[in-house]
Amino acid sequence: MPETVGAWWARRQWSKGCEVPYPIGTFRSDWAQYPALIRQYHPDLNSMITLTQIPPAAEVFLVWQCDVGHLFVATPEEQRMRPGRERRRSSWCPDCLAGAKPMRVRESARDFANSAPRPRRALMTKALVDKPGTVGEPFLSERAPKPASAAEADLRHRLAQRFDFDLTPNAIRVSQPFFERMEIWPDIVIGELRVALEYDTVGRHGLEHVGRREAIDRRKDRILRASGWEVVRIRIGKLQPLGPHDIVAASVTDKLIDRIEERLGEIRGELFVAAYRR
C-alpha cells in the first residue's frame, strides 16, 4: 500500500541500515524517458528527496506540480501510466483535466449525415511560417528563452569584459528545422566569429544533457555546423565532450575564459580573435 514519502524513506533507511538508502542518481536512467514527470517533480515538495532516488515502481505518494502550478498527489506508477508514455510537450494534471472543455457530441446520426464536411487545410509546419532569412544569420529572436542559470549569465559577463563582441543576438537561422523552427537558440552567440557557445550542466535532477537529451545536443550541433557555424560546449562536472572543441570545466572562472579564448583561436585564428580583445 502506498505511503508518504517521509515514511517510505524512513522505512528504506531502516531496511538498508544506512542514512541514504538510494544515492542521488541511482534511478536516473529509469526516469530519463519521462521528461514531463521530471519537470513536474520538485524535491522541496517531497522532503528534499530527488526523483533519481526513487524507484519508478515505488509505492509512495509524491507531490507533483503541473506547468500551470497545480499541486496534486500521485504515485510514480500512476504518473507513468498516464496517457502518452513519453510526454515531451504536455503533462497530466487532475485540475487541468477537470477544467478542460468537453468535446462537442453530435445529437444524432442524421445531424452527422447532413452536416457538410469541413475542408481540409493544407498541412503546414511551424517551420514554414518562420520569417525568411539568410542561413547562418545571427539575430535577436523573441522566442529564445532567457539565460537558464546565474552561471551562464556570469559566463556571458566575463566574455563581455574580455572581448568586444556583440552578444545581443540570441538565435541563428539554420538550413533545416530544429523542433519545427528554422532557428536555433545557443546559450551565447558570437556572430563575429560564427561560434556558438553552449553551457551544459546535468541540472537539478541530474538528467540534463544526458541520454536522449545528449542526442538532441548532437543533432543541434550538426545543424549549426551545416549552417556555417562552429560549436564550443562548456561541459560542467562529469559531462564528457561531444565535439572536437568542447571544454570540460568545474565552474565559471577566469581560467575558463582563458581556455575559451584558446579554443576560439584554434577555430578562427589567434590573430583574428585577438583583434576583439579589449
- In whole angstroms, give the CA distance from residue 103 to residue 202: 41
Q: What angle do CA 35, 36, 40 make, to 5 degrees?
A: 115
Specify if 118 maps to a domain: no
Domain end residue (candidates: 55, 83, 98)? 98
- Rounded CA-CA distance 91/67 in Å is 7
pLDDT recorded at residue 159:
96
Please check whether residues 56 and 178 belong to one and the same domain: no
Question: Does residue 92 fall inside a structural domain?
Answer: yes
Average pLDDT over residues 54-59: 90
Q: What is the pLDDT of residue 93?
A: 74
Query: What pLDDT shows up at residue 207?
Result: 80
Q: Which residues are CB-contacts of 12 (< 8 A; sequence separation ≥ 6)?
A: 21, 22
Q: Which of 232, 244, 145, 246 is nearest to 197 (CA)?
A: 232
Q: Are 3 and 59 in contact (CB under 8 A)?
A: yes
pLDDT, greater one: 275 or 120: 275
Which pTM was predicted? Answer: 0.55
Most confident of 91-95, 126-130, 146-150, 254-258: 254-258
Flag whether 262 is in a domain: yes
The answer to whether residue 151 scores a pLDDT higher than 70 is: yes
CA of residue 113 relative to chain centroid, distance: 47
- Output the average pLDDT for the chain: 84
Regarding whether 91 and 40 lie in a shared domain, the answer is yes
CATH number of the domain where residue 184 is located: 3.40.960
67-91 pLDDT, tens digit each? 777 888 888 888 887 654 444 445 5
> Does 150 share its domain with 60?
no
Asked if residue 164 and residue 81 are part of one domain, the reply reads no
Q: 132 and 72, same structural domain?
A: no
| C-alpha–C-alpha distance, residues 218 and 201, integer Å | 15
Flag whether 113 is in a domain.
no
Q: Provide the number of structural domains found in the chain.
A: 2
Same domain for 269 and 156? yes
Q: What is the CB neighbour count within 10 angstroms for residue 138? A: 20
152 and 92 in one domain? no
Write down the pLDDT at residue 69.
75
Domain that holds residue 268: 128-274
Instruction: Quote the percentage of the chain above a pLDDT of 90.
Output: 47
- Tens of pLDDT, residue by residue over 97-107, are 666 555 555 55
Same domain, 140 and 69: no
